[in-house]
Amino acid sequence: MKLKEIIQKCDSDFEIINYQNHEVRGISINSREIRNNYIFGAIRGNNYDGEEFIKDLLKKKNIIVILSCHSTLDTNLDKYKKIIFLKVSDVRLTSSLISSIIYKNNIRKKFAVTGTNGKTSVASYVHQIWQKNKIKSACVGTLGIKFKNKLIFNTNLTTPDAISNHKILKKLSNQGCERVIYEASSIGLEQKRLYPMKFDVIAFTNLSKDHLDYHKNMNNYKNSKALLFKIYSKKSSIAVINTDSKYASYFLEICNNNNLKVLDFGEKANFVRISQIKQINKKFEINIILKKKNTKIIVDCLSKFEIYNRICSIIMAYNSNLKIKHLNLINQLKNPSGRLEKIYERNRKKVFIDYAHTPHALSEVLSSLRTLSKGKLFLVFGCGGDRDKSKRNQMTKEALKHADFIIITDDNPRFEDPKVIRNDMLNGIKISELQKIKIIGDRERAIKKAIRLLSTNDILLIAGKGHEDYQIVKNKKINFSDKDIARKFLLEK
């Protein structure tokens, strides 16, 4: 595709320097991926400035650079004479838009789910429902990219960068994919990684404290989530809203302002009203009102949040065509890897792993396991480095409400000192409560110790990493799986 054609299809204002109508073969925001006839999006990130890498492209041919209109780079220098510069007001947005033009796809239906917790589960459940209905579909999120129920690509981000997204969609489209569901993270939405997609069905699960290292406060965080309903919707979009979230009214107001059709769920909902949830032994009895019809379903799961996530996914999959019979799918949906996953049950001892890494998520999982426990509830967990520091001691406080004994260990320390992270987790904890806590920085030794402490009727939760098979120390990924490590010691027990 020629540059002139791309520019004509862009709904953006450009200042073009050194114009030549070159053939364009690709686009990237990573200078190491730039080839001849490529476009480079010089994005200014938190840790780097794309403009610093323009010098590495000087030996390439027919290079185009998207540059901020506020850039101070002297494009008149002789060394830049062979580079075409597109100066724009928003480099991220323009890079996203151009990538959607270069990597065009024909996927008919696109879905997205946002929220602090539950995104991975809801996306997985929707994909499972599509698979049951023989729909060629894909799921993009924390667990990677799944197509036809097979993992085809691993991602490092919940929501991949914009250019990767459009490449992924084109590849899926070429393979006959008809529907795709995305986990839409707050950072991904704010960084325009999904731009300029417009989704057919969008959902909100819940909102609680997370990512404040990036967003700075809850209001900014909430507004970033809301972008899914403001920017990435269209007139015909359907919004699925959890009315039992304390932030539901905020999202419902946005939907009303944008004339979006709302299909809500929860105790206060109009569409799928959950009139009662009652725990009976190891199952839940739920009463649901749908289209003025009452139904009772016995659900075989461990927690209320699983029920909410499954109902959300069923509404997303069937939306206005939802019938009572579809709700029976709730027992056929399987939790994705690392989401309240039971990895051991023997001699009346149980071990679970979960991805919970926010105060609310950890509280929900522990309170659910507490109802199952006839003995003690043990917990192994830590907090990630270079991430929201304000939630660290809050997670410990939530853990103390439910667990009988806690081992604080390392998660992904990244570039932070693990001891500092562990100390942050203990900040403000009462001396009397410290008796319930043991510190073992080495995660493998922490898991081993917890397993050695288990007695009959006890439950152990290993939280924070879930499906992850690595630990990030500085800039290195070290092979590490909670599941594999726990099973090794459980076999020895």
Residue 137 scores a pLDDT above 90: yes
CATH topology for 341-492 is: Protein-Tyrosine Phosphatase; Chain A (3.90.190)
Residue 45 scores a pLDDT above 90: no
Query: What pLDDT band is residue 493 in, cutting at 50, 70 and 90?
Result: low
Q: Backbone phi, then psi, for 473, in 5-degree steps? A: -120, 115
Residue 318 scores a pLDDT above 90: yes
Q: In 3D, which of 41, 183, 194 has the Cα closest to residue 117?
A: 183
Q: Which amino acid is at 359?
A: P
pLDDT tens, position by position, 334-393 = 999 999 999 999 989 999 999 999 999 999 999 999 998 899 999 999 999 999 999 999
pLDDT tens, position by position, 295-309 = 999 999 999 999 999
* Predicted pLDDT of residue 148: 81
Q: What is d(CA 423, CA 457) in angstroms, rounded to the nearest whole number?
A: 31
pLDDT tens, position by position, 417-470 = 999 999 999 999 999 999 999 999 999 999 999 999 999 999 999 999 999 999
Q: Mean pLDDT throughout 253-269? A: 96
Share of the chain above pLDDT 70, in %: 99
Query: What pLDDT band is residue 159 in, cutting at 50, 70 and 90?
Result: confident
* Predicted pLDDT of residue 8: 93
Residue 157 scores a pLDDT above 80: no
Q: What is d(CA 67, CA 94) in angstroms, rounded to the nearest whole number?
A: 10
Query: What pLDDT band is residue 48 in, cutting at 50, 70 and 90?
Result: confident
CB count within 10 Å of CB 89 equals 12
Q: Mean pLDDT throughout 76-105? A: 95
* Predicted pLDDT of residue 152: 83
* Predicted pLDDT of residue 441: 97
Residue 47 scores a pLDDT above 80: no
Residue that has been written with the tokens 């069905």 in this structure: 201
Q: Mean pLDDT throughout 215-232? A: 94
Q: What is d(CA 202, CA 224) in angstroms, rounded to the nearest whole number?
A: 14
Residue 86 scores a pLDDT above 90: yes
C-alpha distance from residue 183 to each of 140, 272, 359, 388 (Å): 6, 23, 20, 20
CATH number assigned to the domain covering 3-101: 3.40.1390.10
Mean model confidence pLDDT for the chain: 94
Residue 214 scores a pLDDT above 90: no
Q: Where are the domains of the chain?
A: 3-101, 105-331, 341-492
Can you read off the two tokens belonging to residue 249? 């009214």
* Predicted pLDDT of residue 12: 77
Q: Mean pLDDT throughout 160-178? A: 93
Residue 151 scores a pLDDT above 90: no
CATH number assigned to the domain covering 105-331: 3.40.1190.10
Query: What pLDDT band is residue 281 in, cutting at 50, 70 and 90?
Result: confident
Residue 176 scores a pLDDT above 90: yes
pLDDT tens, position by position, 401-410 = 999 999 999 9
Provide the CA 11 distance to its chain's centre, in angstroms: 29
Query: What pLDDT band is residue 27 in, cutting at 50, 70 and 90?
Result: very high
DSSP secondary structure code for residue 404 in this structure: S
Q: Mean pLDDT throughout 188-217? A: 92
Half-sphere exposure of 208 (CA within 13 A, CB side): 18
